[in-house]
Chain A
Amino acid sequence: MDKVRLQREAAFIRSSLLDQGYLDEQFIQLEELQDNDNPNFVEEVVTLFYTDSARLIYNIDQALLSNPTDFTKLDDYMHQFKGSCSSIGAKKVKNECNGFGEYCEAQNYDGCFRTFQQIKQEYINLKKKLETYFQLLKEAAQIK
């Protein structure tokens, strides 16, 4: 594929992510931080996010499996996770987290469990889309 085409495709993915609420303003902030000194800053941050948040997701999963359920811990992990999501602009995932927090407060295990499955789903969705996006950018950059 030629460079321009690749770039256009990447741009399309990006704007749809923003329009559909997968990503928000914060993502744009990250893009603005990117410069010649750190040409892959955004990708690095996103990669770091996914690596680090995988650990949090694992912790939450484990906490959901343990008995009795420690809602405090769950809330704590979720708080961290949410903070991370917001820092890269993962809007949809972050919003799902709010629901989880409410269930935690109400100590509603089922609610927490279900919501978390949804969170994970959104999380994976976004990850795939971003991976494609960065891949396209990379390919485009390699051309010429």
Chain B
Amino acid sequence: MNLSNVKGSTMSTPSSSGSHLRSTGDAVSDQFPAGLRVLVVDDDPTCLMILEKMLKACLYEVTKCKCAEAALELLRGNKNGFDIVISDVHMPDMDGFKLLEHIGLEMDLPVIMMSADDGKHVVMKGVTHGACDYLIKPVRIEALKNIWQHVVRKRKTGWRDPEQSGSIDEGDRQQKVSDDADYSSSANEGKSSKKRRDEEEDADERDDSSTLKKPRVVWSVELHQQFMAAVNQLGIDKAVPKKILELMNVPGLTRENVASHLQKYRLYLRRLSGVSQQQNNLNNSFMNPQDPTFGSTSINGIDLQALSVAGQLPAQSLAKLQAAGLGRSTAKPVMSMPLVEQRNLFSFESPKLRFGEGQMQHLNTNKPINLLHGIPTNMEPKQLANLHQSAQSLGNLNMRINASVAQRSPLLMQMGQSQPRGQMIGENGSHVNQLPTSLLQPTVPNRISNGVIRNGIASSSNINAAYNQVPQSSSFLNFPMNQTNEMSVRSFPLGSHPGISNITTKGMLQEEVTSGIKGSSGFVPNYDIFNELQPQKSQDWDLTTAGLTYDATQHSNHVQGNTDVSVSPSVLVHPGFTSIQQTGQNRDTTSSMGKDMFSIGEGMDQGNLQNISQPQNPLLVDNSVRVKAERVPDASSQTNFFPEQYGQEDLMSALLKQEGIGLAENEFDFDGYSLDNIPV
């Protein structure tokens, strides 16, 4: 082994210096744990530098990363390039726990969390999200010396014979199942098997001196779809890994693989349901839109309600929206976001996939925006930011998205068909939320989802509704990710949440999207801007939505080329907010439209847009590349909303005032959606 290499490598490729560890799986090499390939993620450069030095002093091979997105990219690019990940909890672009989840689902590597925060609940969060350890800053070198144990532990569990380990599982991971009380024992097994699976999944080339490596199971979209189909068939409560495995009938798949995947899936569902419950509560309160500022209060009410039903909007978000709408200052939306984020974990994944890696990247930051596009939500800037974050993380989860999308699609389809409107399928169908919006039309969904997924962000809050729409995977365009399925899923939510809320988010998203598209990393600042603009938005949003809805319908033609969804501008830009207001659905459609836009851009055929029928939010713009603001900018609207006009309150108001603001940004294929309204 080359110890000397270890010291010097910072961004070394895994293969190079890890060679010393690459034994044939025999007894642990003497060198171990030296050469352990560690990925450190922290936005604080001081900490990063110190950690790097410490890890090198432990003779580990260190790779530094300043942001979570980059880290995920790195991990995805080198699936077996790292042995362990150390990540900070508080990071600007993505929550550390979210990163943790992604890594757990996609790569199944041991992840150590660290933070200056030693509060019990934070540490507990680490545990529940699956971190294998939690370090308090300042981290001492002694704490780092032993991190190799987590790697070995993970490997060892997979080293055993799967069947054998299966039986062992039941006995030994009960504590993990604590929160899965209602889960069948398979869930428990899933957890432990998941750990084992880590071992199994280590790539062959992964040098692990201590355990036998088994090929890692990659949960592709198709595989996940099969999984979802099996789970649905059995019923979520009765779904046990063994039966699922039998139903899936995939050669080479082991019960442990299924079990651990099921475990993750359940966690995901649980998070979603937790959110939806909250939302439901909120809905009631919001149901009486009284505030004219919302514009179409009724719509807002609907939207909010729908959103909450859909579980899309965390209760808190709704509250905030309301407050915002009413001109009040709302409480920290932050709370709500986590819920949304969680939820989005699965849902967003799809959108991310859609865009394809490259695009996603770009979108990562934009993600939040995308999702929100379709959904005019009066989310507080913070919320948006959160969504953003989640969206971003979603983007990164290509794999996951596929899986989730796949799973969603079937469900959504079913749901959508049976109840095209107002059904949000948060989860595979287990959580079907009734969405007032009728956007969820079976036909539409496809498009929407594509669009939606793309944006990922858009779907964040409203998307759930979109699920119903259409999870069709096939129709999705060129999403590089091949995640068409996901796309559909995503788009739904947007479509379905017509309300103002969507608009708001859209606006915000737009801004972000713009930045995203531009490749700027200035999302964060956007949030701030939004905050400022936020107050004014509520009203405007309504208008915006109205305008959007109109546009949405028009979209149908735009799906251009790959990413441009150009909706006939003329139609879109409607000063007629009123019209929109009439239909809560419009909103939804708008959002969905927006989504469509994305998808269209992706390659969706325009026809989809049409299906959407409900004006989807043209704003949905897909941050990524497509946004071609084709929409013929209405004379009244100035579409430039996003682009660089961030943070100008006047701008915002002005935008909002314009009805049907055309899409200014090319990036947004809104086709004349009044993205303008979106305060940049």
Point out residues on A near B: beta carbons under 8 Å.
26, 29-30, 32-33, 37-38, 41, 44-45, 48-49, 52-53, 68, 70, 72, 76, 79-80, 82-84, 86-89
Chain B residues whose CB sits within 8 angstroms of the CB of A76 once the complex forms? 90
Chain B residue nearest to A32 (CB atoms) is B141
Total number of A-B contacts with CB less than 8 angstroms? 62
Contact pattern, B 68-95, Cβ under 8 Å of A = 1, otherwise 0: 0000000000000000000000100000
> How many Å from the CB of B423 to the closest CB on chain A?
35
Chain A residue nearest to B382 (CB atoms) is A72
A30 engages B45 (CB within 8 Å): no
Contacts A29-B141, A70-B531; A45 near B332 (Cβ below 8 A) = no
> How many Å from the CB of A40 to the closest CB on chain B?
12
* Segment 1-49 of B: residues with Cβ below 8 Å from A: 7, 43-47, 49
In the assembled complex, B391 has its CB within 8 A of some CB on chain A? no
Q: Count chain B CB atoms within 10 A of each CB in A30, A38, A80, A83 and give the residue with the most.
A: A83
B46 engages A45 (CB within 8 Å): yes
B54 engages A49 (CB within 8 Å): no
In the assembled complex, B137 has its CB within 8 A of some CB on chain A? yes
What would 10 A/B residue contacts be, using CB atoms closer than 8 Å? A26-B140, A29-B138, A29-B141, A32-B141, A33-B53, A33-B141, A37-B7, A38-B53, A52-B46, A84-B46
Interface of A is mostly: helix
B50 engages A30 (CB within 8 Å): yes
Chain B residues whose CB sits within 8 angstroms of the CB of A44 once the complex forms? 49
B53 engages A52 (CB within 8 Å): no
In the complex the two chains form, what is the Cα distance from A18 to B53 in whole Å? 22
B116 engages A83 (CB within 8 Å): yes
Contacts A33-B53, A72-B332; A87 near B47 (Cβ below 8 A) = yes
> How many Å from the CB of A96 to the closest CB on chain B?
14
B46 engages A33 (CB within 8 Å): no
Chain A residues whose CB sits within 8 angstroms of the CB of B7 once the complex forms? 37
In the assembled complex, B117 has its CB within 8 A of some CB on chain A? yes
> How many Å from the CB of A61 to the closest CB on chain B?
15
In the complex the two chains form, what is the Cα distance from A44 to B116 in whole Å? 22
In the assembled complex, B334 has its CB within 8 A of some CB on chain A? yes
* Segment 98-128 of B: residues with Cβ below 8 Å from A: 115-117
A48 engages B49 (CB within 8 Å): yes
Q: Count chain A CB atoms within 10 A of each CB in B50, B117, B141, B332 and give the residue with the most.
A: B50
Q: Count chain A CB atoms within 10 A of each CB in B49, B116, B332 and give the residue with the most.
A: B116
B50 engages A86 (CB within 8 Å): no
In the complex the two chains form, what is the Cα distance from A29 to B45 in whole Å? 17
> How many Å from the CB of B173 to the closest CB on chain A?
32
In the complex the two chains form, what is the Cα distance from A113 to B304 in whole Å? 38
Contacts A48-B49, A82-B116; A87 near B382 (Cβ below 8 A) = no
> How many Å from the CB of B333 to the closest CB on chain A?
9
> How many Å from the CB of A104 to the closest CB on chain B?
12
Q: Which of A48, A52, A79, A89 contacts B138 (CB 8 A)?
A: A89
A87 engages B50 (CB within 8 Å): yes
In the complex the two chains form, what is the Cα distance from A18 to B468 in whole Å? 63
What band does the interface of chain B fall in when counting residues whose beta carbon is under 8 Å from A?
20 to 34
Chain A residues whose CB sits within 8 angstroms of the CB of B50 once the complex forms? 30, 33, 45, 87-88
A87 engages B137 (CB within 8 Å): yes
> How many Å from the CB of A82 to the closest CB on chain B?
6
> How many Å from the CB of B86 to the closest CB on chain A?
14
> How many Å from the CB of A32 to the closest CB on chain B?
8
In the complex the two chains form, what is the Cα distance from A29 to B116 in whole Å? 17
B46 engages A79 (CB within 8 Å): no
> How many Å from the CB of B386 to the closest CB on chain A?
11
Chain B residues whose CB sits within 8 angstroms of the CB of A82 once the complex forms? 116
In the complex the two chains form, what is the Cα distance from A86 to B135 in whole Å? 13
A87 engages B44 (CB within 8 Å): yes
In the assembled complex, B247 has its CB within 8 A of some CB on chain A? no
Chain B residue nearest to A44 (CB atoms) is B49
Closest 7 CB pairs of A and B: A83-B116, A49-B46, A86-B138, A26-B138, A87-B138, A87-B47, A33-B53
Chain B residue nearest to A48 (CB atoms) is B46
B329 engages A68 (CB within 8 Å): yes
In the complex the two chains form, what is the Cα distance from A65 to B49 in whole Å? 32
In the assembled complex, B236 has its CB within 8 A of some CB on chain A? no
Q: Count chain B CB atoms within 10 A of each CB in A33, A44, A82 and give the residue with the most.
A: A33
Chain A residue nearest to B329 (CB atoms) is A68
In the complex the two chains form, what is the Cα distance from A43 to B452 in whole Å? 50
> How many Å from the CB of A81 to the closest CB on chain B?
9
Contacts A38-B53, A45-B50; A80 near B334 (Cβ below 8 A) = no
Contacts A26-B138, A29-B140; A84 near B382 (Cβ below 8 A) = no
Chain A residue nearest to B140 (CB atoms) is A29
Chain B residue nearest to A71 (CB atoms) is B332
Contact pattern, B 376-406, Cβ under 8 Å of A = 1, otherwise 0: 0000001000000000000000000000000
> How many Å from the CB of A144 to the closest CB on chain B?
28
B57 engages A79 (CB within 8 Å): no
Chain A residues whose CB sits within 8 angstroms of the CB of B382 once the complex forms? 72
Chain B residue nearest to A63 (CB atoms) is B528
> How many Å from the CB of A91 to the closest CB on chain B?
10
**Told that A82-B116, A87-B47 touch, could you supply 10 new A-B pairs with CB distance under 8 A?**
A30-B50, A33-B50, A33-B53, A76-B90, A79-B117, A80-B44, A83-B115, A86-B137, A86-B138, A89-B138
> How many Å from the CB of B337 to the closest CB on chain A?
11
Q: Which of A38, A72, A83 contacts B137 (CB 8 A)?
A: A83
> How many Å from the CB of B335 to the closest CB on chain A?
10
Chain A residues whose CB sits within 8 angstroms of the CB of B54 once the complex forms? 33
In the complex the two chains form, what is the Cα distance from A110 to B46 in whole Å? 30
> How many Å from the CB of B542 to the closest CB on chain A?
24
Chain B residues whose CB sits within 8 angstroms of the CB of A29 once the complex forms? 138, 140-141
Chain A residues whose CB sits within 8 angstroms of the CB of B43 once the complex forms? 80
Chain B residues whose CB sits within 8 angstroms of the CB of A41 once the complex forms? 53
B137 engages A52 (CB within 8 Å): no
B116 engages A52 (CB within 8 Å): no
> How many Å from the CB of B128 to the closest CB on chain A?
21
